[in-house]
Chain A
Amino acid sequence: MSKMTLKTESETTIVVTRRFAAPPEAVYRAHTEPELIQKWLLGPEGWTLPVCISEARPHGRMRYEWTNGKGGFHLTGEYVELEPYRRIVHVERMHLPETTPDNRVETRFEPDGDGTLMTIRMTLPDAETRAQMLATGMERGMEASYVRLDGELSS
């Protein structure tokens, strides 16, 4: 069940797919209900999500704040469309603290046997922005890796 794919599509899109051994209703709920989101949307080891606001209705707000005890960053967004257990469209941006361009995200949940196939399609305003997002992500990812390495070295 751990098969995940990540690829770029056209000039502005990143597509991620993943299968889960649970029905679409459960996977959808785990993406929209704060108390469930806080259990898994954590990134590298050592990070937590103490603030998680998810108003799962059109025009509803999203606000996720991550911390590793030493520092942190946050994400804000708005829900655009929700078809319960099937599809979510939302817009999000990161505050690192500099604000990244809006990322429009469509998440689909399709029945797949007795599980779910989830497809996330992230669309950035232009190719340049996607390149920047990927580049920024690398710096963040490396920072997180170093934080994790710190933890391993001190234990």
Chain B
Amino acid sequence: MPTLDAAFSALSDPTRRAILARLAMGEATVMELAEPFEMSQPAISRHLKVLEGAGLIARRVDGTKHPCRLARAGIEPIDRWLAMLRDALTRNYDRLDQVLADMKPEKRKDTR
């Protein structure tokens, strides 16, 4: 069972993040994924293995090809977590907006 730790660890590499960004546009083969990077196919395959182990991508068999796609089940917990962190910070900073507004002398007169 892939963990969130494994997912974040997999995401710590810029090449792997770029691969995920490419797969967000649709399925691709190892050859198609290797093309934009100055990397050998075995090197890309190693990155894909890490992403697959973290549950972020899935591969299917199509004759001799093994096209990759994003694995929704692996991506969703990360999306949810980032959304929650964003939400907590957003609430804090919305409150700070109000604190800053109250610090202005002219507003203080209006509200008190």
30 of the cross-chain contacts (CB-CB < 8 Å) are A2-B93, A6-B89, A8-B11, A11-B12, A11-B13, A16-B89, A18-B89, A20-B93, A20-B97, A21-B97, A22-B103, A27-B96, A30-B96, A30-B100, A30-B103, A39-B95, A40-B92, A42-B92, A43-B88, A45-B91, A127-B12, A130-B12, A131-B5, A131-B12, A134-B85, A135-B5, A137-B81, A138-B4, A138-B81, A145-B84
A131 and B97 in contact, given A141-B81, A141-B84 (Cβ under 8 angstroms): no
B61 / chain A contacts, CB cutoff of 8 Å: none
Interface size class of A (residues with CB under 8 A): 35 or more
Q: How far is the CB of B27 from chain A (nearest CB, A)?
A: 26
Which among A8, A130, A131 has the highest number of chain B CB atoms within 10 Å? A131
Q: Assess A138 versus B93: contact at CB under 8 Å? Given A43-B88, A128-B9, A130-B8.
A: no
Specify which chain A residues have a CB less than 8 angstroms from the CB of B77 in the assembled complex.
138
Question: Counting CB contacts under 8 A, is B101 at the interface?
Answer: yes
A138 partner residues in chain B, CB cutoff 8 A: 4, 77, 80-81, 84-85
Determine the distance from Cα of A11 to Cα of B89 in the docked complex, in whole angstroms: 22
Residues of chain A with a CB closer than 8 A to B99's CB: 30, 36, 39-40
Task: Collect the chain A residues with CB atoms within 8 Å of residue B84's CB.
Answer: 138, 141-142, 145
Tell me which of A2, A36, A135 contacts B8 (CB under 8 A): A135
Q: Would you call B9 and A4 a contact (CB within 8 A)?
A: no
- B91 CB contacts on chain A under 8 angstroms: 42-45
Tell whether B21 is near chain A: CB-to-CB under 8 Å. Answer: no
Asked if residues B97 and A44 are in contact (CB atoms below 8 Å), the reply is: no
A45 to B87: give the CA distance in the assembly, Å. Answer: 11
Please give the residue numbers on chain B whose beta carbons come within 8 Å of chain A beta carbons, in ascending order.
3-5, 8-9, 11-13, 77, 80-82, 84-101, 103-104
What residues of chain A have their CB less than 8 Å away from a CB belonging to chain B?
Answer: 1-2, 4, 6, 8, 11, 16, 18, 20-22, 26-27, 29-30, 36, 39-45, 127-128, 130-132, 134-135, 137-138, 141-142, 144-145
Extra 4 A-B pairs, beta carbons < 8 Å, given A11-B13, A22-B103, A44-B91: A18-B93, A20-B96, A128-B9, A142-B84
- Are B90 and A134 in contact, CB atoms less than 8 angstroms apart? no
Rounded to whole angstroms, the CA-CA distance of A73 and B92 in the bound complex is 17
Q: Sorted from nearest, which 7 A-B pairs have the closest CB atoms?
A: A131-B8, A141-B84, A22-B100, A40-B95, A138-B81, A127-B12, A40-B96
Contact B8 A144 (CB under 8 A): no
